[in-house]
Amino acid sequence: MPIEIAPVTPDFVARITGIDLARPLSDADRQAIVSACDHYAVLVFPDQLLSKEALVAFGRSFGEVDTSLQKKLLNHVQNRLGTDEVTDISNVDAEGKVAAPDHWQTITTVGNRFWHSDGSYKHTPIRYSILNAVTAVAHGGETQYADLRAAWDALDETTQKLLSDKVGIFWSHNTRDQLKIPDTQAERSAFPKMRWPLVRRHPGSGRKVLWCDSKVCAIEGMPVPEGRALAHELIEHIGQRERVYSHKWQPGDLVMYDNRATVHRGRRFDHAERREMRRVETVDDSCSLGPAERQDIV
Ligand code: OGA
Ligand code: MN
């Protein structure tokens, strides 16, 4: 069956059918998916509930699968899925039951409610994230995706100029601290702060992207409050409705998104309902400018 790509807008989000992701990808299909992701940045594959093994194999077709979050942090708490290559994005406890609202597993996913690009706080971030819904909730619980290329294009020239040589400092706990998620000091310092240019070019599309998310705790060369206010302004700009696609999950949906060109956030839902997703992430080969010198900026 031929792979079919149905765009949601001319250059952001496409639905892909006519392919069985549980089977090994042909080179042609793999290439078609990479090209589609370069162009649309978010790909929705309906009706593809994969086993953990098949999900990992699909991820591996696009590069090394990241395990750093599991190894550094998540294994200390709960590893229900029993593998470092699949992250448990759910409100389910170790026994498989819906976890209480104040259970660690529930609270940690609340950290996903701020706009972010997966791994933006890592030295080597994430290229593709692949989310597969096992169950979905009746109300809310959408994942929203915002287009960082369109966000750059829509900035006025003065702001583009201001940002052109700016470097942001990204920290894993910028959001978790705001939420007062009770992480330990060891967890808070597991990933040192990283430096990234706020304007980058996507290698696959050649388009410039506004590289800013909720992990930005300071902008170099600016007083801390000024930098944080600017980051806040940019995130508001990025999240404008006309550049956002909201995905309402059905069980079996698989969404693959390019973290180099998008940010995303989870939306609120009733934690009494079971929401269970599995995530595989591939390692990107771009590197941050290095650890931030001023580790004291928070
Ligand atoms: C993620 C994430 C949002 C959601 O898994 O990386 O941000 O809606 N998820 O669960
Ligand atoms: Mn995420």
Measured by CA distance, the residue closest to atom 4 of ligand 1 is: 266
Q: Is 129 in the pocket of ligand 1 (CB under 6 A)?
A: yes
Q: For 98-112, how does the pLDDT look when each residue is reduced to its tens digit (9 = 90+)?
A: 999 999 999 989 999
Quick one: which ligand is closest to 255's CA?
A: 1
Q: Is 266 in the pocket of ligand 1 (CB under 6 A)?
A: yes
174 DSSP 8-state letter:
H
Instruction: Say yes or no to pLDDT of 296 above 90.
Output: no
CA 156/CA 60 separation, integer angstroms? 39
Instruction: Say yes or no to pLDDT of 297 above 70.
Output: no
Q: Indicate the pTM of the whole model.
A: 0.97
**Short-list 147, 183, 176, 144, CA closest to 268:** 144
Measured by CA distance, the residue closest to atom 10 of ligand 1 is: 266
Q: Which of 69-78, 140-149, 246-255, 288-297 has the lowest mean pLDDT?
A: 69-78
- Cα-to-centroid distance, 115 and ligand 2 (Å): 8
Ligand 1 atom having least distance to the Cα of 142: 8
Q: For 188-207, how does the pLDDT look when each residue is reduced to its tens digit (9 = 90+)?
A: 988 999 999 999 999 999 99
Measured by CA distance, the residue closest to atom 3 of ligand 1 is: 266
**Short-list 10, 11, 1, CA closest to 258:** 11
CA 62/CA 284 separation, integer angstroms? 10
pLDDT band at 119 (very low <50, low <70, confident <90, very high): very high
Measured by CA distance, the residue closest to atom 1 of ligand 1 is: 112
**Mean of pLDDT over the chain:** 95
Three-state DSSP class for 33? helix
- Cα-to-centroid distance, 85 and ligand 1 (Å): 16
**Short-list 243, 257, 276, 252, CA closest to 17:** 252
CB count within 10 Å of CB 237 equals 17
pLDDT value, residue 78: 74
Q: Is 118 in the pocket of ligand 1 (CB under 6 A)?
A: yes
Quick one: which ligand is closest to 113's CA?
A: 1
Q: For 130-162, how does the pLDDT look when each residue is reduced to its tens digit (9 = 90+)?
A: 999 999 999 999 999 999 999 999 999 999 999
Quick one: which ligand is closest to 133's CA?
A: 1
pLDDT value, residue 122: 97
Q: Which residue has the higher pLDDT, 157 or 187?
A: 157
Pocket test residue of 131, 134, 265, 276 for ligand 1, highest count of atoms within 8 A of CB: 131
Q: Is the dihedral of CA 54, 259, 14, 139 positive or negative?
A: positive
CA 211/CA 13 separation, integer angstroms? 19
Q: Is 264 in the pocket of ligand 1 (CB under 6 A)?
A: yes
